[in-house]
């Protein structure tokens, strides 16, 4: 499985792009692959899917978020969320600390609840030098809805170190759709001062997987603007995205690439292969003109002035170079095939009525792959894991 693709942008094409608010629906790249994937997603029964999707992920047993079975996970560490291990993987694979982990290291975490990316950044940086007072800043949406990930679960982690600073913005909502909250967070962290910035926001798409890309567009744009305001020159940015079929999304990738030396699309091993989740990893921030940033802040608020914010489909006025579109087309073709194969495999598992021995074979492989992953990424193995000690067929009867 090809997990990482570098997005190449020629130096002469890296420039400040013109801004335009458009209600025209974006074009779809790889239309055939897009339609095939959409049709397949429509066949998914959410109840059956949630029960069986874990069997199509070779790395599922690294962490099992089950309060009643904490001893089942192969990894010993109990993080705030599964995203912790994704960030561990990304930090190692892209050597994100190699050039920026100095005594003044600072990280900023956008849409961060429940805190997995910040926790991974904190732990790995302090594993290298536990005596340094690195600063870690986070902002996330405030909500009393238990389905919206906030800081509640992270209370002990947050209170463990005064260098972990949490913000809900100027209006105490944590909503980065409000440019004033972005500005407030930028001032709190320090303008262009964060060596590492992450954005791990998302929605619950379980009722309609096909709208992930469209509905996440505004969130990703606001996360990028927030990142550009706090990112230090030479720093790195990690941002979760979903599908990349719409030209509006592809323009965001190109836009971001104009501000960094290198931009990658990465699917961590710890990200389930059947879903559309992937991460932008942007390295070597080149800086941004403050006046241009103010224009971007104003654009954040344009959405708030529209009766239906979802009617804004595009904000970047650009004809993307053919070579860039070709690279995205090639990526989409390969990525959609891998995703379709995994979904079909999961559907096969759902439909197989005599699957016990088949599932046991899968789980045996998952145990092996989880242990290999832990060794590679320097995570201690839970030698008391029930899967390691006493794996039995009855677990899946």
Peptide bond connecting 114 to the previous residue in cis, omega within 30 degrees of 0: yes
Q: How far apart are the C-alpha atoms of 292 and 306, rounded to whole Å?
A: 22
CA distances from 323 to 43, 258, 263, 327 (A): 35, 15, 15, 6
Length of the chain measured in residues: 397
**Active-site residue flag, 240:** yes
Q: How far apart are the C-alpha atoms of 201 and 119, rounded to whole Å?
A: 15
User: Of 240, 267, 283, 371, which is the active-site residue?
Assistant: 240
Rama region for 115: left / alpha / beta (φ>0; ψ in -120 to 50; rest): left
Tokens 């690294």, located at residue:
62
* Euclidean distance between the first and the last CA atom of the chain, given in angstroms as a whole number: 31
Q: How far apart are the C-alpha atoms of 122 and 160, rounded to whole Å?
A: 11
Q: Which residues are catalytic?
A: 240
């Amino acid at each position: 499985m090809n997990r990482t693709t570098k997005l190449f942008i020629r130096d002469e094409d890296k420039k400040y792009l013109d801004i335009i608010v458009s209600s025209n629906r974006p074009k779809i790249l790889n239309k055939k692959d897009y339609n095939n994937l959409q049709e397949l997603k429509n066949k998914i029964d959410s109840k059956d899917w949630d029960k069986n999707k874990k069997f199509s992920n070779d790395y599922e047993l690294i962490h099992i978020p089950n309060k009643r079975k904490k001893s089942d996970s192969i990894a010993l560490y109990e993080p705030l969320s599964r995203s912790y291990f994704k960030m561990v993987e990304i930090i190692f694979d892209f050597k994100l600390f190699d050039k920026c982990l100095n005594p003044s290291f600072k990280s900023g975490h956008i849409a961060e609840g429940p805190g997995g990316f910040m926790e991974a950044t904190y732990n790995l940086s302090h594993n290298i030098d536990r005596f340094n007072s690195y600063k870690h800043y986070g902002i996330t949406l405030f909500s009393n809805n238990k389905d919206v990930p906030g800081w509640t679960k992270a209370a002990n982690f947050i209170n463990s170190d005064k260098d972990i600073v949490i913000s809900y913005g100027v209006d105490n909502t944590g909503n980065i759709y409000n440019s004033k909250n972005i500005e407030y967070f930028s001032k709190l962290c320090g303008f262009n001062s964060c060596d590492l910035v992450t954005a791990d926001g998302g929605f619950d798409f379980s009722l309609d997987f096909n709208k992930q890309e469209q509905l996440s567009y505004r969130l990703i744009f606001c996360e990028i603007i927030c990142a550009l305001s706090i990112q230090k020159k030479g720093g790195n940015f990690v941002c979760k995205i979903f599908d990349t079929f719409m030209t509006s999304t592809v323009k965001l990738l190109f836009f971001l690439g104009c501000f960094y030396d290198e931009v990658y699309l990465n699917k961590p091993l710890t990200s389930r292969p059947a879903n559309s989740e992937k991460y932008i990893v942007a390295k070597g921030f080149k800086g941004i003109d403050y006046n241009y940033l103010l224009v971007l802040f104003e654009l954040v608020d344009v959405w708030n002035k529209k009766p239906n914010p979802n009617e804004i489909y595009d904000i970047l006025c650009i004809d993307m170079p053919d070579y860039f579109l070709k690279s995205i087309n090639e990526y989409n073709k390969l990525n959609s095939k891998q995703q379709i194969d995994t979904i079909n495999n999961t559907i096969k598992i759902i439909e197989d009525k005599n699957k016990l021995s088949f599932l046991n074979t899968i789980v045996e492989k998952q145990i092996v792959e989880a242990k290999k992953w832990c060794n590679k990424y320097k995570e201690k193995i839970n030698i008391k894991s029930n899967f390691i000690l006493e794996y039995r067929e009855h677990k899946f009867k």
